């Protein structure tokens, strides 16, 4: 193939690839131009040959064209090859970006090649703008975001922690979090993070309490995500830390309020049934006094053994009532742990039966086996006593109250308060035969100081105490009622082993 034929084939390939080329003189005036060159630059065909240099033929500002001319004269005019980028302004104002090469030939001509990379440049620019926008968004988030290498050193950190600590970002980069915060995660959290990263797994909502350093006294939730390479190797890991200190303080305040409210209600509850307790003890001990006086008058009477037995039974019954009352009146703190509900249920129901007036009965529908749940024993007694007192008052202290217990029950869909524990849940339901409530009234029953009783007959604190105590265990409460159909107050108490709860941070 002749050399001219090869050149023609090469130039044809340039045209097919959309790469423009032209021939100029040493001053830059166009002598010839390919169709692709004219299409890229949007120069008319009659622009060739040109009287002016090619770099002055677009719509760019005069100063830009002057800079081009200076570069052209310094390099091409001196016989050197020029390579670089050309920012070309079209007549309609659109900007193109050409990768250009100008090579002087042995004569006075220059070969100029222009390859349009506008799409690539625009894509890079859009990517830079997107990255800048993302960085701005990350910097404005109310949480800490870091990218760390496999060795734990920080490769990126958003503005949250540097701004909060009054430090530049450079104080964090290439350092471990403990080098800056003067605090390291607890061993349980650190081991969990290491194990998760070794398995290339994510961690969600792991608690971290910082006890020393500038963030001492703050509580955080950690979320981690491994970032893997194409071969599955760990390249980076993303750590998001959410400061929940305000939430934790609010939760503590709520807990203090709930316990204070519980103590207040407990005094009121004791006042409410103090009269009934005195009456019951009087009923039990009055016959004992009669028997004792009879024995004092005639110690040798024939039925003295029977009378002594009756006295002992009466004293034992009174002691049982007082013992159960004292259990519920004690204020010492108890740990939350997995326990069988049945003994506490039996104690409270027996106390309620002892104090119940004639005409009021209690029935229990428990499962056959144990009903284990995570709770505080004295608080459970208080919750159940509140529900039983509420049911008794709803039906004017007469009729039948049913207590239904299920070892495991699904949560209803219409809960007013969602549980904080993950479940499963044991169910204790107290069902009364009262007048019932409409939906509007039922939705307010757990609000403090809300009561359907007449003035002077209720504080409106019993059911809010129930709500506060049950949610403190991680459970929840509900009410199902309708006018004329009575009410069912239910508590869902979380089940589970202490080990599993500790691993999830729920105990």
Write out the residue range of the structural domain in which residue 358 sits: 255-504
Q: What is the mean pLDDT of residues 389-405?
A: 90
- pLDDT score for 456: 41
pLDDT value at 501 more than 80: no
Q: What is the mean pLDDT of residues 376-403?
A: 87
**In this structure, are 222 and 264 located in the same domain?**
no
In a domain, 131, yes or no: no
- pLDDT score for 103: 93
Q: Would strands 360-365 and 399-406 be described as parallel, antiparallel, or unpaired?
A: parallel
In a domain, 248, yes or no: no
Token pair, residue 295, equals 């024995």
Question: Whose CA is closest to 33, among 3, 4, 67, 57?
Answer: 57
In a domain, 135, yes or no: no
In a domain, 239, yes or no: yes
Q: What angle do CA 31, 35, 38 make, to 5 degrees?
A: 70
In this predicted model, what pLDDT tens digit does every residue of 237-276 receive, in sequence order? 888 888 887 776 777 777 777 777 767 666 665 565 565 4
Q: What is the mean pLDDT of residues 432-437?
A: 89
Most confident of 151-160, 257-266, 393-402: 393-402
pLDDT value at 196 more than 70: no
Domain boundary among 243, 269, 293: 243
**In this structure, are 335 and 204 located in the same domain?**
no
**In this structure, are 104 and 184 located in the same domain?**
no
Please report, for the domain that includes residue 325, its CATH number. 3.30.565.10
The full length of the chain comes to 507
Q: Would strands 372-375 and 360-365 be described as parallel, antiparallel, or unpaired?
A: unpaired
- Token pair 């991680």: residue: 474
- pLDDT score for 498: 41
- Compare 352 and 456 and report the one with higher pLDDT: 352
- pLDDT score for 213: 72
Do the Cβ atoms of 57 and 41 come closer than 8 Å?
yes
**In this structure, are 479 and 344 located in the same domain?**
yes
| C-alpha distance across the termini of the chain, in Å | 86
**Among 78-87, 98-107, 179-188, 445-454, where is mean pLDDT lowest?**
179-188
CA 337 to chain centre: 25
- Token pair 């993950």: residue: 422
pLDDT value at 102 more than 90: yes
Do the Cβ atoms of 492 and 477 come closer than 8 Å?
yes
In this predicted model, what pLDDT tens digit does every residue of 342-386 receive, in sequence order? 888 888 888 778 667 888 999 998 877 888 898 888 788 878 888
Most confident of 113-117, 212-216, 222-226, 259-263: 113-117
- pLDDT score for 23: 93
Token pair, residue 222, equals 């950690």
- pLDDT score for 504: 44
CA-CA-CA-CA dihedral for 123, 127, 132, 136, to nearest 10: 120
**In this structure, are 183 and 264 located in the same domain?**
no
**In this structure, are 367 and 259 located in the same domain?**
yes
**In this structure, are 496 and 398 located in the same domain?**
yes
In a domain, 249, yes or no: no
**In this structure, are 232 and 366 located in the same domain?**
no
In a domain, 128, yes or no: no
| pTM beyond 0.85, yes or no | no
| Cα–Cα distance, 318 to 122 (Å, whole number) | 90
- pLDDT score for 430: 94
Q: What is the mean pLDDT of residues 178-205?
A: 62
Question: Whose CA is closest to 460, among 264, 257, 220?
Answer: 264
Q: What is the mean pLDDT of residues 430-438?
A: 89
In this predicted model, what pLDDT tens digit does every residue of 27-81 receive, in sequence order? 999 999 999 999 999 999 898 999 999 999 999 999 999 999 999 999 988 889 9
Q: What is the mean pLDDT of residues 319-324?
A: 65
In this predicted model, what pLDDT tens digit does every residue of 6-26 receive, in sequence order? 666 677 777 777 788 999 999
| Cα–Cα distance, 34 to 12 (Å, whole number) | 9
Strand partners, 95: 89
Mean pLDDT across the chain? 79
**In this structure, are 267 and 380 located in the same domain?**
yes
**In this structure, are 95 and 166 located in the same domain?**
no
Token pair, residue 337, equals 């742990």
Percent of the chain with pLDDT over 90: 21
- pLDDT score for 265: 64
Total domains, the chain = 3
Domain boundary among 214, 243, 272: 243
In a domain, 358, yes or no: yes
- pLDDT score for 180: 60
Domain boundary among 243, 267, 288: 243
**In this structure, are 266 and 342 located in the same domain?**
yes
Please report, for the domain that includes residue 187, its CATH number. 3.30.450.20
**In this structure, are 268 and 366 located in the same domain?**
yes
In a domain, 124, yes or no: no
Most confident of 186-190, 258-262, 458-462, 484-488: 484-488
Q: What angle do CA 354, 360, 364 make, to 5 degrees?
A: 75
């Amino acid at each position: 193939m002749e050399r001219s034929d090869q050149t023609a084939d090469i130039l044809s390939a340039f045209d097919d690839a959309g790469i423009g080329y032209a021939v100029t003189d040493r001053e830059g005036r166009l002598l010839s131009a390919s169709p692709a060159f004219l299409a890229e630059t949007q120069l008319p065909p009659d622009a060739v040959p040109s009287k002016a240099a090619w770099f002055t033929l677009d719509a760019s500002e005069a100063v830009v064209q002057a800079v081009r001319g200076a570069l052209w004269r310094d390099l091409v005019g001196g016989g050197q090859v020029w390579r670089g980028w050309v920012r070309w302004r079209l007549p309609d104002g659109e900007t193109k970006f050409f990768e250009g090469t100008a090579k002087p030939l042995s004569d006075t001509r220059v070969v100029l090649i222009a390859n349009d990379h506008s799409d690539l440049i625009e894509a890079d620019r859009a990517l830079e703008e997107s990255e800048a926008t993302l960085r701005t968004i990350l910097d404005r988030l109310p949480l800490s975001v870091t990218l760390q290498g496999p060795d734990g050193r920080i490769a990126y950190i958003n503005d949250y922690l540097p701004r909060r600590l009054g430090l530049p970002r450079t104080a964090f980069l290439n350092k471990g979090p403990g080098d800056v915060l003067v605090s390291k995660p607890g061993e349980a959290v650190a081991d969990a993070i290491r194990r998760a990263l070794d398995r290339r797994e994510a961690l969600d909502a792991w608690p971290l309490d910082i006890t020393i350093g500038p963030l001492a006294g703050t509580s955080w939730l950690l979320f981690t995500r491994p970032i893997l390479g194409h071969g599955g190797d760990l390249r980076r890991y993303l750590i998001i830390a959410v400061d929940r200190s305000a939430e934790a303080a609010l939760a503590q305040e709520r807990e203090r309020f709930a316990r204070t409210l519980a103590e207040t209600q407990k005094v009121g509850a004791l006042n409410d049934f103090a009269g009934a307790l005195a009456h019951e003890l009087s009923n039990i001990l009055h016959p004992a006094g009669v028997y004792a006086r009879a024995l004092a008058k005639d110690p040798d009477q024939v039925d003295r053994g029977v009378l002594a037995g009756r006295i002992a039974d009466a004293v034992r019954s009174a002691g049982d009532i007082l013992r159960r009352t004292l259990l519920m009146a004690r204020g010492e703190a108890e740990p939350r742990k997995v326990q069988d509900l049945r003994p506490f249920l039996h104690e409270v129901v027996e106390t309620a039966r002892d104090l119940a007036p004639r005409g009021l009965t209690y029935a229990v529908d428990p499962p056959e086996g144990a009903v284990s749940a995570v709770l505080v024993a004295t608080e459970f007694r208080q919750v159940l006593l509140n529900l039983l007192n509420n049911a008794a008052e709803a039906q004017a202290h007469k009729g039948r109250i049913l207590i239904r217990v299920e070892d495991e029950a699904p949560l209803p869909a219409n809960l007013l308060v969602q549980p904080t524990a993950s479940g499963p849940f044991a169910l204790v339901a107290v069902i009364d035969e009262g007048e019932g409530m409409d939906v509007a009234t039922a939705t307010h029953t757990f609000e403090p100081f809300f009561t359907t009783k007449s003035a002077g007959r209720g504080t409106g604190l019993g059911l809010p105490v129930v709500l506060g105590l049950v949610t403190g265990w991680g459970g929840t409460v509900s009410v199902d009622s309708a006018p004329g159909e009575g009410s069912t107050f239910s508590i869902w108490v979380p089940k589970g082993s202490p080990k599993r709860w500790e691993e999830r941070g729920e105990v």
